[in-house]
Amino acid sequence: MNTPNPSEINAQKPAAPAVKKDAQSSDSAKSSVPSKSLPLAESRCYGVSVGVGASATLVAYGIAADLCAGGTIFGLPVGKQKNVEIFAADHVSASDLKFQVSRLIDSEVNISVLVPKTLNPPDYRSQEGRALMGPPKAGGCRVVVVPAANKKARWSEANLSAFKRAVVGKGALVIFIFQGFSKEEEAYLSSCFNCVFTVCPCEPDQGYPSAFTVAPISGSFFAATGHSAVIENIRVDAEGRIKRHCLPCVSPDRRDREIYRLRKEENKSLEEIGEVLGCNKSTISRRLSALAFHLRGHCL
């Protein structure tokens, strides 16, 4: 029997596939390239015009609380926030806000209150004033309480645009709270911000000393598409904590809200409502007819 020599054995074995150097170098190159992070979302800016008699401090507190709790601004979904900066540019709201927001902070939520490094609020329409307003961190959230407007020196559209550019950072969510604006100034807000809300004091419900209504500015996209107005009833408890009761706003008038509640929720007749409130049937009917169209359809 012939024994094959080693050279014949080697010839019978299948050759191992050669590893391409190009493939190896390509794989190593891929592993060395860092993965790209997703780009930041576009900045979102909202304006709030607080009318005479309403508290910008309470408005700022409520906005910060709702952003952390439910991710909304007056019922408009914007995304839940874990870190919110309140820039008390008006100085006046700083101490009250610091005291109240400290009670909202926990392991998952952080709300900080910042104050300008000046003794008095500067003129934020000027370049020097805007220089004091650094933008928040990229992707951050900030609520800016702007000092009350000066009747002799009004804001122009150019002022508002420059102020916005100075405050808004990349991918940031910023809510500007303006005080004492005229109708003309409010109109400028609509051209600068994604959405503008107006805040007006109103008659509070029973058990609350103050309240205000909030609605998208008249004629805006959100107003035209039916974003509901809200009412916030506010009181302070025995421990000094702010307590808020927010609900859809039927009417700024407390009597109208009670009539609507008795009619819609308790299904009382016009005569029964009149007996409860001490007025006649025609008065009840007239008040219901004066409500917004989407409300009175459920009651008449």
Q: Please count the structural domains in the chain.
A: 2
Torsion of CA 82, 88, 93, 95, to 10 degrees: 80
Predicted pLDDT at 107: 65
Residue 274 belongs to what domain range? 254-296
Domain harbouring 169, CATH code: 3.40.50
pLDDT tens digit string along 182-208? 999 999 998 899 999 999 999 999 899
Closest CA to 47 of 35, 56, 38, 34: 56
187 and 265, same domain (yes or no): no
Query: Considering the domain boundaries, does residue 263 fall inside one?
Result: yes
Q: How many Å apart are CA 270 and CA 277, to the nearest integer?
A: 11
The angle at the Cα of 33, spanning 30 to 34, to the nearest 5 degrees, equals 135
Q: Express as a percent the part of the chain with pLDDT over 90.
A: 41
173 and 291 inside one domain? no
C-alpha to C-alpha distance for 176 and 126, rounded to whole angstroms: 17
Q: Is 9 inside any structural domain?
A: no
Are residues 232 and 263 located together in one domain of the fold?
Answer: no
Instruction: Report if residue 25 sits inside a domain.
Output: no
Highest averaged pLDDT of the listed ranges 61-65, 103-107, 128-132, 283-287:
61-65
106: in domain: yes
Per-residue model confidence (pLDDT) at position 30: 47
Q: Among the listed ranges 151-155, 157-161, 258-262, which one has the minimum average pLDDT value?
A: 151-155
Sorting pLDDT into bands at 50, 70 and 90, what band is 298? low
pLDDT tens digits, 235-274 = 999 988 999 999 888 898 999 988 888 888 888 888 988 8
Statement: residue 22 has pLDDT above 70: no
SS3 at position 170: coil
Residue 208 and residue 195: Cα distance in Å, rounded? 29
In 10 A of CB 218, how many CB atoms?
13
> SS3 letters for 221-259?
HHHHCCCCCEEEEEEECCCCCEEEEEEECCCCCHHHHHH
Q: Are residues 124 and 224 in the same domain?
A: yes
Same domain, 84 and 146: yes
For the cut 90, the answer to whether the pLDDT of residue 70 exceeds it is yes
Residues 63 and 170 in one domain: yes
262 shares a domain with 243 = no
- Residues 80-112: tens digit of each pLDDT: 999 999 999 988 889 999 989 887 767 678 899
Decide: helix, strand or coil at residue 279: coil
Residue 157 lies inside a defined structural domain of this protein: yes
3-class DSSP state of 201: strand
Do both 226 and 272 map to the same domain?
A: no
Residue 19 pLDDT class (50, 70, 90 cuts): very low
